[in-house]
Structure 1
Amino acid sequence: MPQRVTHETAQCPVARAVDVIGDRWSLLIVRDAFDGIRRFNDFQRNLGLAKNILSSRLRELVTHGILEIVPAAEGGAYHEYALTQKGRDLFVILVSLRQWGEDHLFEDAEPHSVLLDTKNNKPVRKLEVTDAKGRLLDPSEAFVRKVAS
């Protein structure tokens, strides 16, 4: 079996991030954690994921500090998974993926879940990339400065 290629020492932040959260199951676990799921069985039931794969992904997310293991809310022998600050910082990534999916993967009248803000019960505004002065940027108006070799 071929060795998994790792990007943990890559100079590109995207490559390092994909190394940690680029797996589809990991992103869906994080999505579910934002939706309030905290227990192994609830993740498994919601995702329909095999126990061994779920265990592996949860372990990786804990190892990378995205989730932490905490005592169950009602006590006892069970534990739960909670987002750390590092995990909560993924919110903007999930919102961006959600909005891209809404724009490109649904027909105009096709129903889908909607992200609403809790204060006003209104849809969240579309994320935008802007320059330092707030001007909307097109992808052609940005570039990556590579690390000199």
Structure 2
Amino acid sequence: MRFTPHVTVATVVEDQGRFLLVEEVADGRAVFNQPAGHLEADESLTQAALRETLEETGWDVELTAVTGIYLYTAPSNGVTYQRVCFAARPLRQRQNHLLDEGIIGPRWLTREELAAQPERWRSELVLRCIDDYLVKERYPLELIRDSA
């Protein structure tokens, strides 16, 4: 069996101490996650992060940094994900933007509000990415080298 990790992106979007999260249905329950998703063919990591954030929250954002690259194996299905997490600032919310299937909606929560509900996290990466962002774990976007 060949080992094939799934490449994903996520964005930590902060505005005055609150973080833009996605409330979504996963495995039959409502959970919180960063705006996140899989890299698609012929797409750069930064393009994927912008697309997933818009598709899942209706927000246009500006990427400002890379906060980390994470390797995570989901206990629920044994799949390994490589997550590239970006920091971003919100630009504007598109009114009446149709969100991806399975998305309940965007939610703005403080770190404390999120930390108080670990049973609602999609994975432990949700709080870890925010904590890395808060301790200023940020790297220049130039760290990401797209083919061109």
Tell me if TM exceeds 0.5: no
With the length of structure 2 as denominator, give the TM-score of the two structures. 0.25
Judging by fraction of residues, say which structure has more helix: 1
Higher Rg of the two aligned structures: 1
Judging by fraction of residues, say which structure has more strand: 2
> Which of structures 1 and 2 has the larger relative contact order (alpha carbons within 8 angstroms, sep 6+)?
2
